[in-house]
Amino acid sequence: MSRSSRPFTVGLVQMRCSTDPDENLRRACEFLREASAKGAQVACLPELFRSQYFCQVEDHANFDLAEPIPGPSTEAISAVARETGMVIVASLFERRAAGIYHNTAVVLDADGSIRGRYRKMHIPDDPLYYEKFYFTPGDLGFLSFETSRANVGTLVCWDQWYPEAARLTALRGADILFYPTAIGWHPAEKAEYGEAQADAWMTMQRAHAIANGVYVAGVNRIGHEGDPAGGIEFWGGTFLADPFGRILAKAGPDTEEILVVECDPKLMETTRRHWPFLRDRRIDAYTPIVERFLS
């Protein structure tokens, strides 16, 4: 049986992040080892797990949190990958050069080698999500990485709202789309909008699974971070959807959890045969999609 048709088991780490980057890295490695012990072969950590979500404010001192790739975090996680024989997706604040920083997902193969990196393409600028201050938009395009366990597609948080990003990553041959995420409620808005916001987040990603016939995983953090009177309450809800959009596993809104789920590429084959969206795409008619707006 070829690697591309073999089932693979996914581990999704939902964790709380402290103000101590070293503690967060240590705990992330512990969670990864636990995921492996539960049978995970491909694991993913939340977005920017090494720190609390610093983009709530525009502060030049926060650039000190960035690191090169390869660097300390990839060195530590690479060791876990080698030790466990597990593919790992890790979201890091990448220092590319002085004044150039990216929000980057690194894929480490089961032998500990860096299989590749994806730099977040869509950069938000919303209240308490001031990412344009910190991150240069990605310049590597939409990618899928062939690893020893599965073809892994990586996107990051705000990318999850864009069908174009999911489609192009799926067209690269991904078996699964991972979305490391840091998303939550503004506490003052939670009562009125919270349920609808979380539902929209999950619905959008389930739609990517259906439209592309792939597995999709959203991997979030939990906990309240920032101003005690405001800040962000991260809503957890880490989940994995199958190629028909069915939720195979879902974490709670406020607990650290590791979800371990088997994914079978044969289901992708079956789903795409019966719902042949990729076959019926009118690629000859989509040129206007590159325009900002069509009046």
Token pair belonging to 102: 């990216």
Residue 3's pLDDT band (cuts 50, 70, 90): low
Relative orientation angle of helices 21-37 and 72-84, to the nearest 10 degrees: 20
Residues with Cβ within 8 Å of residue 295, at least 6 apart in sequence? none
From residue 15, how far is each of 82, 180, 257 by CA, in Å? 22, 12, 7
List, for residues 98-141, the tens digit of each pLDDT value: 999 999 999 999 999 999 999 999 999 999 999 999 999 999 99
Tell me how many degrees the CA angle 100-293-278 measures, rounded to the nearest 5.
85
Token pair belonging to 119: 């730099």
List, for residues 180-199, the tens digit of each pLDDT value: 999 999 999 999 999 999 99
Cα first-last separation, the chain: 51
Which entry of 157, 225, 233, 263 is annotated as an active-site residue? 157
From residue 193, how far is each of 53, 199, 219, 231, 247 by CA, in Å? 21, 10, 21, 16, 23
Number of residues in the chain: 295
List, for residues 263-290, the tens digit of each pLDDT value: 999 999 999 999 999 999 999 999 999 9
DSSP characters for 105-116? EEEE-TTS-EEE
d(CA 206, CA 244): 8
Query: Tokens 């636990």, residue?
Result: 34
Q: 121 near 159, Cβ under 8 Å?
A: yes
Q: 213 near 243, Cβ under 8 Å?
A: yes
Residue 271: how many CB atoms within 10 A of its CB?
20
CA 274, chain centre distance (Å): 28
Residue 1 has pLDDT above 50, yes or no: no
Architecture category of domain 7-290 in CATH = 4-Layer Sandwich (3.60)
189: annotated active-site residue: no
Which entry of 44, 47, 131, 263 is annotated as an active-site residue? 47
38: annotated active-site residue: no
Residue 221: how many CB atoms within 10 A of its CB?
29
Q: What is the mean pLDDT of residues 249-253?
A: 98
- Report the predicted TM-score, pTM, of the whole model to 2 decimal places: 0.96
Q: Structural domain boundaries of the chain?
A: 7-290
Portion of the chain with pLDDT greater than 70, in percent: 99
Which entry of 29, 44, 55, 120 is annotated as an active-site residue? 120
pLDDT value for 295: 87
120: annotated active-site residue: yes
Residue 124: how many CB atoms within 10 A of its CB?
15
d(CA 14, CA 156): 15
Residues with Cβ within 8 Å of residue 99, at least 6 apart in sequence? none
